[in-house]
Protein backbone atom coordinates (compact mmCIF):
# COMPACT_ATOMS: atom_id res chain seq x y z
CA UNK A 1 0.00 0.00 0.00
CA UNK A 2 1.38 3.38 -0.96
CA UNK A 3 1.51 6.05 1.68
CA UNK A 4 -0.01 9.45 1.18
CA UNK A 5 2.25 12.44 1.38
CA UNK A 6 0.75 15.66 2.64
CA UNK A 7 2.01 19.19 3.04
CA UNK A 8 1.63 21.28 6.15
CA UNK A 9 0.11 24.15 4.26
CA UNK A 10 -2.50 22.20 2.33
CA UNK A 11 -3.66 20.42 5.49
CA UNK A 12 -3.80 23.70 7.42
CA UNK A 13 -5.90 25.17 4.63
CA UNK A 14 -8.24 22.18 4.62
CA UNK A 15 -8.62 22.47 8.37
CA UNK A 16 -9.33 26.17 8.01
CA UNK A 17 -12.21 25.46 5.64
CA UNK A 18 -13.39 22.68 7.94
CA UNK A 19 -13.41 25.04 10.92
CA UNK A 20 -15.23 27.78 9.02
CA UNK A 21 -18.00 25.26 8.50
CA UNK A 22 -17.82 23.48 11.84
CA UNK A 23 -17.59 26.55 14.03
CA UNK A 24 -20.05 28.68 12.06
CA UNK A 25 -22.28 28.79 15.15
CA UNK A 26 -19.75 31.10 16.79
CA UNK A 27 -20.62 33.73 14.19
CA UNK A 28 -24.28 33.53 15.20
CA UNK A 29 -23.22 34.55 18.69
CA UNK A 30 -21.53 37.65 17.28
CA UNK A 31 -24.67 38.66 15.43
CA UNK A 32 -26.72 38.12 18.57
CA UNK A 33 -24.25 40.11 20.69
CA UNK A 34 -24.34 42.96 18.18
CA UNK A 35 -28.13 43.04 18.03
CA UNK A 36 -28.31 43.21 21.83
CA UNK A 37 -25.65 45.94 21.86
CA UNK A 38 -27.61 47.86 19.24
CA UNK A 39 -30.77 47.65 21.35
CA UNK A 40 -28.84 49.09 24.29
CA UNK A 41 -27.49 51.84 22.05
CA UNK A 42 -31.00 52.89 20.99
CA UNK A 43 -31.56 54.22 24.49
CA UNK A 44 -28.63 56.60 24.14
CA UNK A 45 -25.30 56.35 25.88
CA UNK A 46 -25.46 59.54 27.87
CA UNK A 47 -27.25 62.82 28.18
CA UNK A 48 -26.90 66.34 29.41
CA UNK A 49 -29.55 68.88 30.23
CA UNK A 50 -29.87 72.54 31.07
CA UNK A 51 -32.79 74.73 31.95
CA UNK A 52 -33.65 78.19 33.14
CA UNK A 53 -36.99 79.81 33.82
CA UNK A 54 -38.05 79.89 30.26
CA UNK A 55 -36.21 77.18 28.51
CA UNK A 56 -35.14 73.63 29.15
CA UNK A 57 -32.76 71.68 26.93
CA UNK A 58 -31.97 68.03 27.19
CA UNK A 59 -29.45 66.32 24.96
CA UNK A 60 -29.10 62.60 24.50
CA UNK A 61 -25.96 61.18 22.94
CA UNK A 62 -26.14 58.15 20.76
CA UNK A 63 -23.16 55.97 19.99
CA UNK A 64 -22.54 52.49 18.69
CA UNK A 65 -19.54 52.00 20.96
CA UNK A 66 -21.31 49.23 22.83
CA UNK A 67 -21.54 47.26 19.56
CA UNK A 68 -17.78 47.51 19.20
CA UNK A 69 -17.18 46.60 22.84
CA UNK A 70 -19.49 43.58 22.57
CA UNK A 71 -17.64 42.48 19.42
CA UNK A 72 -14.34 42.73 21.29
CA UNK A 73 -15.79 40.62 24.09
CA UNK A 74 -16.97 38.13 21.50
CA UNK A 75 -13.55 37.70 19.87
CA UNK A 76 -11.99 37.32 23.33
CA UNK A 77 -14.50 34.60 24.11
CA UNK A 78 -14.13 32.60 20.89
CA UNK A 79 -10.33 32.72 20.97
CA UNK A 80 -10.48 31.08 24.40
CA UNK A 81 -13.13 28.65 23.16
CA UNK A 82 -10.90 27.37 20.36
CA UNK A 83 -8.29 26.28 22.89
CA UNK A 84 -10.73 24.35 25.10
CA UNK A 85 -10.86 20.59 25.28
CA UNK A 86 -14.30 20.55 23.71
CA UNK A 87 -13.03 22.22 20.54
CA UNK A 88 -9.69 20.39 20.53
CA UNK A 89 -11.61 17.11 20.53
CA UNK A 90 -13.32 18.09 17.31
CA UNK A 91 -9.95 18.08 15.55
CA UNK A 92 -8.98 14.50 16.32
CA UNK A 93 -10.91 13.04 13.39
CA UNK A 94 -8.89 15.14 10.94
CA UNK A 95 -5.45 14.62 9.48
CA UNK A 96 -3.59 16.87 11.83
CA UNK A 97 -0.70 17.82 14.02
CA UNK A 98 -0.35 20.61 16.55
CA UNK A 99 1.04 23.11 14.03
CA UNK A 100 -1.78 22.71 11.51
CA UNK A 101 -4.32 22.89 14.32
CA UNK A 102 -2.86 26.18 15.51
CA UNK A 103 -2.48 27.63 12.03
CA UNK A 104 -6.04 26.79 11.06
CA UNK A 105 -7.38 28.15 14.35
CA UNK A 106 -5.44 31.38 13.88
CA UNK A 107 -6.76 31.60 10.32
CA UNK A 108 -10.26 31.13 11.64
CA UNK A 109 -9.74 33.82 14.28
CA UNK A 110 -8.39 36.30 11.72
CA UNK A 111 -11.45 35.69 9.56
CA UNK A 112 -13.62 36.25 12.62
CA UNK A 113 -11.76 39.51 13.31
CA UNK A 114 -12.36 40.79 9.79
CA UNK A 115 -16.03 39.82 9.98
CA UNK A 116 -16.41 41.28 13.48
CA UNK A 117 -14.56 44.50 12.63
CA UNK A 118 -16.63 45.18 9.53
CA UNK A 119 -19.99 44.35 11.11
CA UNK A 120 -19.35 46.35 14.26
CA UNK A 121 -18.43 49.41 12.21
CA UNK A 122 -21.55 48.94 10.12
CA UNK A 123 -23.45 48.75 13.42
CA UNK A 124 -22.77 52.46 13.80
CA UNK A 125 -24.28 53.10 10.37
CA UNK A 126 -27.30 50.99 11.21
CA UNK A 127 -27.83 52.92 14.45
CA UNK A 128 -27.80 56.20 12.50
CA UNK A 129 -30.33 54.85 10.01
CA UNK A 130 -32.63 53.62 12.77
CA UNK A 131 -32.41 56.93 14.62
CA UNK A 132 -33.04 58.85 11.41
CA UNK A 133 -36.31 57.07 10.77
CA UNK A 134 -37.57 56.63 14.32
CA UNK A 135 -36.94 59.96 15.99
CA UNK A 136 -38.19 63.42 15.33
CA UNK A 137 -35.77 64.81 12.79
CA UNK A 138 -36.38 68.39 13.81
CA UNK A 139 -34.84 67.59 17.16
CA UNK A 140 -31.74 65.96 15.78
CA UNK A 141 -28.34 67.55 15.78
CA UNK A 142 -26.73 66.40 12.58
CA UNK A 143 -23.25 67.34 13.61
CA UNK A 144 -21.24 64.20 13.02
CA UNK A 145 -24.30 62.36 11.81
CA UNK A 146 -23.18 61.60 8.31
CA UNK A 147 -20.21 59.30 8.34
CA UNK A 148 -17.52 59.92 5.78
CA UNK A 149 -16.48 56.84 3.83
CA UNK A 150 -12.90 57.29 4.92
CA UNK A 151 -13.95 57.40 8.58
CA UNK A 152 -16.02 54.26 8.16
CA UNK A 153 -13.09 52.52 6.53
CA UNK A 154 -10.72 53.71 9.24
CA UNK A 155 -13.12 52.45 11.89
CA UNK A 156 -13.22 49.05 10.24
CA UNK A 157 -9.46 48.71 9.96
CA UNK A 158 -8.81 49.84 13.51
CA UNK A 159 -11.61 47.59 14.78
CA UNK A 160 -10.13 44.61 12.95
CA UNK A 161 -6.63 45.34 14.26
CA UNK A 162 -7.84 45.62 17.84
CA UNK A 163 -9.72 42.36 17.48
CA UNK A 164 -6.62 40.64 16.13
CA UNK A 165 -4.66 41.86 19.14
CA UNK A 166 -7.38 40.78 21.58
CA UNK A 167 -7.71 37.36 19.98
CA UNK A 168 -3.93 36.84 20.11
CA UNK A 169 -3.82 37.64 23.83
CA UNK A 170 -6.84 35.55 24.62
CA UNK A 171 -5.64 32.61 22.51
CA UNK A 172 -2.31 32.59 24.31
CA UNK A 173 -4.05 32.68 27.70
CA UNK A 174 -6.24 29.79 26.56
CA UNK A 175 -3.18 27.78 25.52
CA UNK A 176 -1.45 28.46 28.84
CA UNK A 177 -4.59 27.53 30.77
CA UNK A 178 -4.74 24.24 28.84
CA UNK A 179 -1.21 23.42 29.88
CA UNK A 180 -1.81 24.34 33.46
CA UNK A 181 -4.88 26.06 34.86
CA UNK A 182 -3.00 27.22 37.95
CA UNK A 183 -0.16 28.62 35.87
CA UNK A 184 -2.66 30.54 33.74
CA UNK A 185 -4.26 32.09 36.79
CA UNK A 186 -0.87 32.99 38.29
CA UNK A 187 0.24 34.69 35.08
CA UNK A 188 -2.91 36.80 34.90
CA UNK A 189 -2.55 37.69 38.59
CA UNK A 190 1.10 38.60 38.05
CA UNK A 191 0.31 40.87 35.12
CA UNK A 192 -2.46 42.65 37.03
CA UNK A 193 -0.20 42.93 40.07
CA UNK A 194 2.68 44.36 38.05
CA UNK A 195 0.40 46.94 36.49
CA UNK A 196 -0.85 48.03 39.89
CA UNK A 197 2.59 48.37 41.35
CA UNK A 198 4.27 49.91 38.34
CA UNK A 199 1.61 52.29 37.11
CA UNK A 200 4.05 53.71 34.57
CA UNK A 201 4.13 50.34 32.88
CA UNK A 202 0.37 50.19 32.83
CA UNK A 203 0.28 53.54 31.06
CA UNK A 204 3.06 52.64 28.71
CA UNK A 205 1.14 49.88 26.95
CA UNK A 206 -1.96 51.90 26.04
CA UNK A 207 0.41 54.73 25.05
CA UNK A 208 2.36 52.41 22.81
CA UNK A 209 -0.73 51.09 21.05
CA UNK A 210 -3.87 53.12 21.68
CA UNK A 211 -2.36 56.60 21.43
CA UNK A 212 -0.62 55.88 18.17
CA UNK A 213 -1.95 58.41 15.69
CA UNK A 214 -0.48 57.00 12.50
CA UNK A 215 -2.54 54.13 11.11
CA UNK A 216 0.37 52.32 9.39
CA UNK A 217 2.47 52.49 12.54
CA UNK A 218 -0.45 51.33 14.65
CA UNK A 219 -1.08 48.46 12.23
CA UNK A 220 2.58 47.50 12.27
CA UNK A 221 2.71 47.46 16.07
CA UNK A 222 -0.44 45.39 16.39
CA UNK A 223 0.63 42.92 13.73
CA UNK A 224 4.10 42.41 15.23
CA UNK A 225 2.72 41.94 18.75
CA UNK A 226 0.05 39.55 17.48
CA UNK A 227 2.55 37.48 15.51
CA UNK A 228 4.70 37.22 18.62
CA UNK A 229 1.76 36.18 20.80
CA UNK A 230 0.47 33.62 18.29
CA UNK A 231 4.02 32.36 17.83
CA UNK A 232 4.40 31.76 21.56
CA UNK A 233 1.04 29.95 21.54
CA UNK A 234 2.24 27.63 18.77
CA UNK A 235 5.54 26.97 20.53
CA UNK A 236 3.84 26.23 23.84
CA UNK A 237 1.28 23.84 22.39
CA UNK A 238 3.48 22.16 19.80
CA UNK A 239 4.65 19.21 21.86
CA UNK A 240 1.44 18.79 23.80
CA UNK A 241 -0.30 15.43 23.87
CA UNK A 242 -3.86 15.08 22.68
CA UNK A 243 -5.89 14.53 25.80
CA UNK A 244 -9.41 13.32 25.44
Partner 1 sequence: MSVIQCEDLSKSFGKIKAIDHLSLEIEENKITGLIGRNGAGKTTLLKMIAGYLKPTSGELKVFSKEPFNSLGVSANTMFVDDTLAFSDSMTLVDILSNVAPFYVNWNSSLASGLFDYYSFNPNQPHSNLSKGSKSTFNSILGIASRCPLTIFDEPTTGMDSAVRKDFYRALLKDYLEYPRTIILSSHLLSELEEILEDILLINHGTKHLHLSVMELKDLAVGIRGNAQAMQSFVAGKEIIYQEDFAQGSVYVVIRRKLVQEQFEQIRQRGLEVLPVSTDDLCVYLTATTKGGIDDVFKRS
Name the site residues for partner 1 (rule: CB under 8 A).
1, 3-6, 8, 11, 14, 17-18, 21-25, 86, 89-90, 92-100, 238-239, 241-242, 244
Q: How far is CA 203 from CA 172, 197, 198, 230, in A?
A: 22, 12, 9, 24
Nearer to partner 1, 22 or 209 (CB): 22
We find the least distance from the C-beta atom of residue 232 to partner 1, in angstroms, to be: 18
We find the least distance from the C-beta atom of residue 108 to partner 1, in angstroms, to be: 12
We find the least distance from the C-beta atom of residue 2 to partner 1, in angstroms, to be: 8
We find the least distance from the C-beta atom of residue 24 to partner 1, in angstroms, to be: 5
Nearer to partner 1, 20 or 152 (CB): 20
How many Cβ atoms sit within 10 Å of the Cβ of residue 218?
A: 19
Nearer to partner 1, 30 or 66 (CB): 30
Nearer to partner 1, 11 or 222 (CB): 11
Relative to beta strand 56-61, strand 46-51 is: antiparallel
Angle between helices 98-134 and 215-237 (to 10 degrees): 140
Nearer to partner 1, 21 or 137 (CB): 21
DSSP string, 138-204: GG---TTTSPPHHHHHHHHHHHHHHHHHHHHHHHHHHHHHHH-HHHHHHHHHHHHHHHHH-HHHHHH
We find the least distance from the C-beta atom of residue 239 to partner 1, in angstroms, to be: 7
Outline where DSSP puts E strands in the chain: 46-51, 56-61
For residue 194, what are the contacts with CB-CB under 8 A and spacing of at least 6? 201
Amino acid sequence: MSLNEVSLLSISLKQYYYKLKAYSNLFNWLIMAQIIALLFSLGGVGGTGAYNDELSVSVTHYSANIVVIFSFAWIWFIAIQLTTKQYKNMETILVTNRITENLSSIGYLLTACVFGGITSSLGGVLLRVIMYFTSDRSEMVFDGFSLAQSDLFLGMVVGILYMVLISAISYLLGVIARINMVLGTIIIALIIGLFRVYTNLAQLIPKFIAFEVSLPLFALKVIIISILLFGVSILLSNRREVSQ
